[in-house]
Amino acid sequence: MPLILSVAVPGPFRRPLDYLPIPEREPPAIGTRVKVPLGSRPVVGVVLGLEAESRLDPARLRPAIDYLDPTAILDADILELARWAADYYHHPIGEVMARCLPPRHRRPDAAPVRQIRAWQITAAGLACDLDQFARAPAKVRALTHLRETAEPVTAARLNALGIRSGILKQLEALDLVVSRAVFSSGGLAEPVLGGALTLNAGQRQAVSAITEGLDRFGVYLLDGITGSGKTEVYLQAMAAVLQAGRQVLMLVPEIGLTPQTEERLRQRFGEAVATLHSGMTDVARLRAWDRVRLGAARILIGTRSAIFAPMPDLGLIVVDEEHDESYKQQDGLRYSARDLALIRARNRNVAVVLGSATPSLETLHNAQQGRYRHLHLRLRAGSAEPPELRLIDLRRHQASDGFSSPLQQAMAETLAAGNQVLVFLNRRGFAPVLRCSDCGWIADCPRCDARMTVHSRPGGLRCHHCGSARPLPPRCPQCGAPEPMPVGQGTQRTETVLKQRFPDVPVVRIDRDSTASQQALTTAIEQIQTGAPALLVGTQMLAKGHHFPAVTLVAVLDADGGLFSADFRGSERLAQQVLQVAGRAGRAERPGQVLIQTLQPEHPLWPAILDQDYPAFARAALAERRDTGLPPYAHLALLRAEATTRNATWAFLEQAAGRLQANAGSVAVLGPIPALRERLDGRYRAQLLLQCSERPPLHGLLRRGLPELDVLPEARRVRWSLDVDPIDLY
């Protein structure tokens, strides 16, 4: 019987490709990597099936080049998750499978799979006479050590005792020791349990609700105000899972921004913790991936891509700050790690905890529908009181260099009392606009429909959309007047202003420019944590998850952008950002206050925010979404296209709209319309929006329609992509 390998290969293929096995070799197992030819080059694919026949003429099939893994490195759990993601996001299966592998394992020249090796004494090794090694003290030491420990000991640990693997291999040749790969049973790093805090009543209820449901699928929304002790709830639920011999996956929005969470996990659980995020080197990622895959690590803390890490004993998934938009990948496979966490938990029949002080409207809706168990933490843990929020009306109190006089006064008082001030401004750079005060000329990006941002140190104009940069013009290119003026405030300018106004106080800026290196960020955070009076300036990077005990005043310099955002999620984002950044104020014994500058103090969004009544905000926002037919009351997919000419973009989208409309049924096909910034990086962008009150018709239409779009002649002149459940529509 001929055997055909069905292989998921990277590339724009909607199905796995068929290959012939390598003659005379044992066929590979499902879930192993194989090297196969694709066109003229070798690529790494993953075996998804062994079939009796091919849809194609077997004479045209090519044989695989090599089998890379002796046993499956992706288990059934990951294969099932990847299949689900490929189907739901209508994305090529091979591209999805590639996401499941650490970068090192995607390369055709990849090193063989690393196994964690451990050494163990044999019966012969126990019985042998050590005197025969009188002239080889290292061998005596190795045998003595392994005799004392019945358990296998890792090569790394033996190495640390000065016992080289060369010695061990010589002993292995004599059958005195054996090496074996360590798998999940009897994981190497035993989690340390203990150090738990005494829970308050709300935390206790949350922990027992979660731990009672651990052995089956269930979703728990841990809805707790900032500082209410959600992390302690996660830790105690995790401890129960670890005690039962199972593993925990914890997703965090951006790991560099939550070093404290990582630190707390390590303090509590020691060496059993592994970390995985894209800022790590390929080697470090591979190592962490192997440690969890082999069960040596019992807890994995990672960013969104960690949802694809194989965990044989998975017993619980925690998604911290579940509302955070960084869980949604914005290019390639546009997946939501939070949503995949639910799918994976369902497949594995385990619990998943979604935690947030400001849950997404989708999640709240699901909780209200009874699909999730809603757990509340309504009080701050420990002794901290919630902060007080107030608006400053910028029409009555004019700001100079971004700061109104009541705000300046509050800052001076806070610093004088020995506390820290956090200034939040979601705009990096020096100033958002460079303008000629004579003729009104504005520096636009030559490649985008966007203004260029003024930067200082290094000085110049930079486009935040395409990255293009140029020097500051000494004169206006339009009228020749000298020195066009930076208009508006960015974090760099704010930092400069603060240094002038408060020359005796250190100013710490945290944004993507100031923290290009992890080291810079760590240094900045350490400086803040000394607790000495300081001014902190930053973007939302500073608002996320940090615990800064000495901050008692938070200033939101400009909240108005979010009030009138073009995007339907604008107000949700604003409420979340303000409440998250407000949560940085007064987290310890000292009470906190939050001052928000606005030109729109009577905007209907403010009362709920000022009362820190996120549920009231969410009720109103959900009602509005229902009335306007937007998520969670409708399901959306966005078909985006871009090309170097506007014509090419529109020709494709008009064809696509026609094809999709022809059998759209209950799905509304809206557009094409130009993107909010039509030209970006020199390309013209437009989009089609597909909308339906039910999911199945939308996905049915996509399943039938996309293969048709693949072969449109117009498709060859554009880049196009599909975004299922898009985060923003423009």
Buried/exposed code over 55-65 (b: 16+ C-beta within 10 A; e: otherwise): eeeeeeeeebe
Establish if 231 lies at the interface with ligand ADP (CB under 6 A). yes
Task: List 691's β-bridge partners, or say none.
Answer: 636, 668
Tokens encoding 363: 């999640």
> How many whole angstroms separate alpha carbon 511 and alpha carbon 491?
8
> How many whole angstroms separate alpha carbon 581 and alpha carbon 525?
16
| Residues numbered 378-397 forming contacts with ligand ADP, rule: CB under 6 A | 381-382
The mark string for 394-433 relative to Zn ion (x by CB under 5 A, - otherwise) is ----------------------------------------
Q: Segment contacting ligand ADP (CB under 6 A): 225-233, 322-330, 504-512, 563-571?
A: 225-233
Inter-residue contact 217 to 345 (CB < 8 Å):
yes
Inter-residue contact 105 to 165 (CB < 8 Å):
no
Q: Closer CB to Zn ion, residue 410 or residue 436?
A: 436
Q: Which does 152 bind (CB under 5 to 8 A by kind): Zn ion, ligand ADP, none?
A: none
135: exposed, middle or buried (Cβ count in 10 Å: 0-12, 13-18, 19+): exposed
Q: Closer CB to ligand ADP, residue 88 or residue 327?
A: 327
In the chain, the N- to C-terminal Cα span, in Å, equals: 53
Q: Closer CB to Zn ion, residue 124 or residue 481?
A: 481
Q: Which does 547 bind (CB under 5 to 8 A by kind): ligand ADP, Zn ion, none?
A: ligand ADP
Establish if 552 lies at the interface with ligand ADP (CB under 6 A). no
Inter-residue contact 177 to 119 (CB < 8 Å):
yes
CB of 587 to ligand ADP, least distance (A): 6
Question: How far from the centroid of its chain's Cα atoms is residue 250's Cα?
Answer: 11
Inter-residue contact 575 to 611 (CB < 8 Å):
no
> How many whole angstroms separate alpha carbon 519 and alpha carbon 527?
12
CB of 462 to Zn ion, least distance (A): 9
Near ligand ADP by CB under 6 A: residue from 6, 32, 184, 203: 203
> How many whole angstroms separate alpha carbon 365 and alpha carbon 351?
19
Q: Closer CB to ligand ADP, residue 579 or residue 656?
A: 579
The mark string for 337-376 relative to ligand ADP (x by CB under 6 A, - otherwise) is ----------------------------------------
- Which residues neighbour 284 within 8 Å (Cβ) at sequence distance 6 or greater? none
Radius of gyration of the chain (CA): 29
Establish if 599 lies at the interface with Zn ion (CB under 5 A). no
Buried/exposed code over 214-251 (b: 16+ C-beta within 10 A; e: otherwise): beeebbbbbbbbbbbbbbbbbbbbbbbbbeeebbbbbb
Establish if 353 lies at the interface with Zn ion (CB under 5 A). no
| Residues numbered 436-475 forming contacts with Zn ion, rule: CB under 5 A | 436, 438-439, 441, 445, 447-448, 463, 465-466
| Residues numbered 466-525 forming contacts with Zn ion, rule: CB under 5 A | 466, 476, 478-479, 481
Q: What is the largest CA-CA distance in the chain?
A: 95
Site size for Zn ion, by CB under 5 A?
Answer: 14
CB of 328 to ligand ADP, least distance (A): 22
Near ligand ADP by CB under 6 A: residue from 226, 453, 496, 539: 226
Q: Which does 115 bind (CB under 5 to 8 A by kind): ligand ADP, Zn ion, none?
A: none
Q: Which does 230 bind (CB under 5 to 8 A by kind): ligand ADP, Zn ion, none?
A: ligand ADP
CB of 557 to Zn ion, least distance (A): 25
Near ligand ADP by CB under 6 A: residue from 10, 125, 152, 229: 229
Establish if 230 lies at the interface with ligand ADP (CB under 6 A). yes
Cα distances (angstroms) measured from residue 100 to each of 342, 350, 430, 723: 17, 20, 40, 20
Q: Which does 229 bind (CB under 5 to 8 A by kind): Zn ion, ligand ADP, none?
A: ligand ADP
Residues of this chain that bind Zn ion (CB under 5 A): 436, 438-439, 441, 445, 447-448, 463, 465-466, 476, 478-479, 481
